[in-house]
A and B are shown apart, each in its own frame.
Chain A
Amino acid sequence: MAIDGGPDLVQLLTPEGVLVAHPDYALTLDDEQWRQRYELLVMVRRLDTEATALQRHGELGLWAPCQGQEAAQVGAALATRPTERIFPTYREHGMAYTRGVDPVTLLGLFRGTTLGGWDPAEHGFSLYTIVIGDQTLHAVGYAMGAQRDRADEAVLVCFGDGASSQGDVAEAFVYAAVNDAPVVFFCQNNQWAISEPLERQTRIPLFKRAAGYGFPGVRVDGNDVLAVQAVVAAALERARGGGGPTLVEAFTYRMGAHTTSDDPTRYRTTAEGEAWRLKDPIERVRAHIVRSGIADTSYLAEVETRADALGEHMRSACRAMPDPQATSMFDHVYAAAHPVMDRERAWLADYLGGFADTGHSGPVGPAATAGAHAHAAFGGGH
């Protein structure tokens, strides 16, 4: 089991909450900035815990927990400028929160009320991508667009240790390299791709793969919010200046299940979880700010109160989320008018309308799917 990040690991805040110097990376925070980071980490964990609970109560069909990866996500998001685009996987709830996306908005995809949920332009945060690794190419293309726009900006794209095996990720590395695209590949190596450990994906540390493509790779302690921000910020700055891509491997751990449908006890040990718990990304920040007098117990309690409020907001807003109108499935499939959409939307509206006087909102059971309506407009000629 992989617990130790090895000699190449960049770390600025130890698991014990002690600041350490690194020859290449430094980041100094004032007290307010420390408190901001602590609060972000706590809120993200609460967001994740609440969503997991909502799934257990049947309010969400699924949830992909980010517990254990809060520092990687918060640190990397803080390293970006608000105007710079982030391309997430489906687990970057911490990045979304840091960018100001309302956590309730994240729930729609998992509740089954939407296939997207937010406007990518509003917070510079792209839609979640479920097909593993596809977004890495989108990010490179977006960065190529930034080059053509002569924009002073870089792009941050997330993927995981499992995705590192995908062809699209390899292609994204190639396209970024030959174009010197201003993109930072942010790999959260959380050690597990559902049940498959890192050694099923690679024979060398992931960050070392960058060398084969001709750009730098760095391994950072993904549970160290300070180091992640410092390393990603340096990579983004390099990209903005025309230096091309960087691969940042955030060495972290998925403390929870892959998703709420998963049972990690079938493939990993309690001892491994316990070992990683000692590297918890939030505890080390708490230890540091308490020890250095940046926070007192009343401040910590205040943050807990705010987290409680977030939880309550998520619970009530999630339960209040309306199901979409049935015919909304036809909306936005195409940008311009389309005869098949018109035909099928009209048919479905008419068909569902036929149930109005029965008190049912729609067909019940398989027998109701064809029958007497089969010769109506659906599937017809016009």
Chain B
Amino acid sequence: MGVLTMAKAINTGLQIAMRDDDHVLVMGEDVGRLGGVFRVTDGLQAQFGEERVIDTPLAESGIIGTAVGLAMRGYAPVCEIQFDGFIFPAFDQITTQVARLHLRSAGTLQMRIVIRVPSGGGIGAVEHHSESPEAYFAHSPGLRIVSPSTPADAFMMIRQAIAHPDPVLFLEPKRRYWQKGEVDTEAPLAPLHELFEARVLRRGHDATLLCWGPMVRTCLDAAEADSRDLEVIDARSLAPLDLPTIVESVTRTGRLIVVHEAPVTGGLGAEIAAQIGQECFYQLEAPVLRVGGFSVPYPPARIEEVYLPDLDRVLEAVDRAMAF
């Protein structure tokens, strides 16, 4: 046991994965000598060498495209996209190649690729450094998407993602990189299917708050601050969604509020609302509500706090849900 930041927890998870499987590679812009702009890959190149920790040219499609070829040859590349907003040059390779080659090859090619993406806002960054792109990829069959919310989860989930035979987008809530928590760095690799299980972090019976990544802390704080008895679920996996856990919760509480940073229009909250509306129609006391970013490009940093869901915005939605 030790107290680690989320960045260090991921770093430690990567180190263990590389130690245990010499086909695991780390590749991306500035991941080697610098250790990544967030230092998540710090020390890995010194330990494992330049052949396994690759400073790539500054071309994101190239990172993913060459990772496809490496995966075809039996390697397990862990690619870093330096910031969420820079994943789009690689969008084609991710959606038309990574997501499809296992299917197209009738299972003979495994795309054992992890794409790590520092995601979300809240760090006062310039444009294109605060995006939450999960919905684009959740819409693309063939991919899996997970997002940790604590150092302990980040440590185990990165190892599970690397061990998993399917391609995994690993969305790291960058504003939580420096948040500390207990991590059992001696823990053995957890079963891979647990990577896709949501977790009920706080039990309650008035309403369910469903969130992931950076919004988990926000929702827990909101639940603690409020007099109503709120349940908080960390989705952890966005594709696939752990619907049974969500359905079970909503069946008890009758109210669901989905909280994410991405714009609500066409966001994952819409998909969840549709699914829960169908599955829990007779148990719902209120429509499924969404709290998310506004349907605008991510705003300038000086007003990002207004854009991002916070404790008050979450509780305002709880008020509305309770009013039905």
Contact = CB atoms under 8 A, between A and B. Distances in A.
Interface of A: 114-116, 119-121, 126-127, 129, 131, 134, 136-149, 167-168, 171-172, 174-175, 178, 331-340, 375, 379-382
B317 to A, nearest CB: 22
Interface string B83-94: 000000100110
Given A121-B108, A137-B65, 10 more contacts: A134-B96, A137-B93, A142-B72, A149-B73, A168-B92, A171-B61, A174-B62, A334-B144, A335-B166, A382-B244
Contact of A338 (B74, B240, B276): B240
Interface size range on B against A = 35 or more
Interface in B38-86: 51, 56-57, 59, 61-62, 64-75
B284 interface: no
B106 A178 contact: no
Contacts of A149: 73
A334 B102 contact: yes
B49 to A, nearest CB: 10
A115 B109 CA distance: 13
A230 to B, nearest CB: 27
Contacts of B280: 381
B247 A381 contact: yes
B28 to A, nearest CB: 13
Contacts of B141: 333
B106 A116 contact: yes
B193 interface: yes
A23 B72 CA distance: 38
Contacts of B57: 171, 174-175, 178
B93 A142 contact: no
Nearest to B104: A116
Nearest to A130: B96
B3 interface: no
Given A137-B62, A333-B141, A335-B166, A148 B75 contact: yes
Nearest to B246: A381
29 contacts: A115-B100, A116-B103, A116-B105, A119-B106, A120-B109, A131-B97, A134-B65, A137-B64, A137-B69, A138-B97, A139-B69, A140-B66, A140-B69, A145-B75, A148-B75, A167-B61, A174-B59, A175-B62, A332-B106, A334-B144, A334-B166, A336-B165, A337-B193, A339-B243, A379-B275, A380-B279, A381-B247, A381-B279, A381-B280
B164 interface: yes
A337 B142 CA distance: 12
B192 interface: yes
A145 B69 contact: yes
Contacts of B104: 115-116, 127
A110 to B, nearest CB: 14
A141 B68 contact: yes
Contacts of A134: 65, 92-93, 96-97
B157 to A, nearest CB: 15
Contact of A379 (B65, B105, B144, B278): B278
B294 to A, nearest CB: 28
B107 interface: yes
Nearest to B105: A116
A261 B141 CA distance: 29
A380 B62 contact: no
A373 to B, nearest CB: 13
Given A137-B66, A178-B57, A333-B142, A145 B165 contact: no
Nearest to B100: A115
Given A171-B65, A333-B103, A336-B166, A381 B75 contact: no
